[in-house]
Homo-oligomer: A and B are copies of this chain.
Amino acid sequence: MNTDPVALPIASVERETGLSKDTLRVWERRYGFPVPARDAKGERLYPLGQVRRLVQIKRLIDRGHRPGKLLTLDEGALAALDAPLDAERPEISTRHLDRWMHLVKTHDHEAMQALFRRDLFRCGMSRFVQDIAAPLIARVGDAWARNQIGVFEEHLFSQHLEKLFRSALSGLALNDGRPRVLLTTLSGEEHTLGLLMVEALLTVEDAYPVLLGPQTPVSEIVRAALAKEIDAVCLSFSSAYPVSLATQGVIELRRSLPADICIWAGGYGVKSLRKPPGGVCLIPEFADLFACLGAWRQTRQTDPLPRQGKHTEDN
């Protein structure tokens, strides 16, 4: 009686791919792909194959390709574009990540937990996040998108990673460092793992993170920032979050927030953004977080004049 869905309605495809319903419909009209089947009601039903291809296309768009090109390509040409990235991606210990993926697929949570601890103590929080946790999350997300693992395996993995970070954090005393950074996501973005990783990094870097949890409306972020005397607001966007919503939300936040409070926007969701909205720092990789942190400390801890200013600002 198990109902394996062979095709998804448009709302599900929107969620799975991060492409808006409008975009899906206009692509069909303009480029002739995707061409979903229709149910009795005349509504679109996207076969899983097309959904997978859409995910692949979305990934390529985020990497800088243009939709008009991609959508006219056939299966093979698409795969050809997908491959060369693998070569350039720094293959940090693929072997080790493979071992991890095996544990995820076999949902062996005891072994997972043990390996988490071992890896964390072996390479330290900062390297653990950048070299293991972040790429692993990406791979698990990928595997899920390709239907190689189920919801259950993904959930179990997330929960154990979350457990690890939280227990690591509970062992760290929080001293009154600077900057004070508010961590949250905009409404609609549910993923908390990114925030937890940032919290961990900030803690070991002697900053003062304030974790607000996911899905805070802009107006409430502003209230929180003022009440807790925040220096910077850090937002996290997963790859599924619509880019347009992200940029619009960030711009709105920038408008509503005092100019002396920085905005840092991170996560896979901002990788596709070429140029940041004015007054916002992009953090596509965790390494960039350290850059932001350093920049903030330099401008605030020394005098307020910007060092590398091109213009002679004081006349």
Residues of B within 8 Å of A55, CB to CB, are 217
Which of B15, B155, B211, B223 meets A245, CB within 8 Å? B15
Across the interface, name the chain B residue whose C-beta is closest to A151. B220
Instruction: Decide: A152 and B216 in contact? CB cutoff 8 A.
Output: yes
Contacts of A217 in B (CB 8 A): 15-16, 55, 151
Main secondary structure of the interface of A (DSSP, over half): helix
Assess whether B109 is in contact with A210, with CB atoms less than 8 Å apart: yes
| Min C-beta distance of A187 to chain B, whole Å | 5
A 179-203 contacts with B by CB, 8 A: 184, 186-188, 190
A310 close to B (CB within 8 Å)? no
B residues less than 8 Å from A255 (CB atoms): 1-5
Asked if A299 is at the interface of the complex by the 8 Å CB criterion, the answer is: no
Q: CB distance A152 to B12 under 8 Å?
A: no
**Alpha-carbon distance A213/B156, docked complex (angstroms):** 7
| A 121-163 to B, binary, CB cutoff 8 A, 1 in contact else 0 | 0000000000000000000000000000011100110110011
Instruction: Find out whether the CB atom of B166 lies under 8 angstroms from the CB atom of A2.
Output: no
Q: Binary interface profile of A, 1-14, with partner B (CB < 8 Å = 1, else 0)? A: 11111001101100
Contacts of A18 in B (CB 8 A): 187-188
Given contacts A15-B188, A167-B166, contact A159 B5 (CB under 8 A): no
Known: A107-B227, A188-B15. A213 touches B167 (CB 8 A): no
What is the CA–CA distance of A166 and B199 in the complex, to the nearest angstrom? 15
1/0 contact string of A90-126 vs chain B (CB within 8 Å): 0000000000000000010100000000000000000
- Whole-angstrom distance between the Cβ of A173 and the nearest chain B Cβ: 11
Give complex CA distance A218, B190 in Å: 20
Measured between beta carbons, the chain B residues less than 8 angstroms from A169 are 163, 167
Docked Cα-Cα span, A16 to B224, in Å, equals 16
Report the separation of the CA atoms of residues A186 and B12 in the bound assembly, to the nearest whole angstrom: 11
One digit per residue, 1 when the CB lies within 8 angstroms of any chain B CB and 0 when it does not, for chain A 55-79 equals 1000000000000000000000000
Q: Which residue of B lies closest to A186 (CB)?
A: B15
Complex: A213 Cα to B55 Cα, angstroms:
19
Are the CB atoms of A213 and B150 closer together than 8 Å?
no
Q: Cβ of B163 and Cβ of A170 under 8 Å apart?
A: yes
Q: Closest residue of chain B to A160, judged by CB?
A: B211
A256 within 8 A of partner (CB): yes
| Complex: A226 Cα to B28 Cα, angstroms | 35
The answer to whether A156 touches B224 (Cβ under 8 A) is yes
Query: Is A267 in contact with chain B by the CB < 8 A criterion?
Result: no
Is B212 a contact partner of A184 (Cβ separation < 8 A)? no
A-B contact pairs, 22 of them (CB 8 A): A1-B256, A2-B219, A3-B255, A4-B255, A9-B248, A11-B248, A15-B186, A15-B188, A15-B245, A15-B248, A15-B249, A18-B187, A55-B217, A151-B220, A152-B216, A152-B220, A155-B212, A155-B213, A159-B211, A166-B166, A167-B167, A190-B190
Known: A11-B244, A15-B248, A156-B224; 16 extra A-B contacts, CB below 8 A, are A5-B256, A15-B186, A15-B245, A151-B216, A152-B224, A152-B227, A155-B224, A156-B213, A158-B213, A159-B211, A162-B213, A163-B169, A166-B166, A166-B167, A167-B169, A190-B190
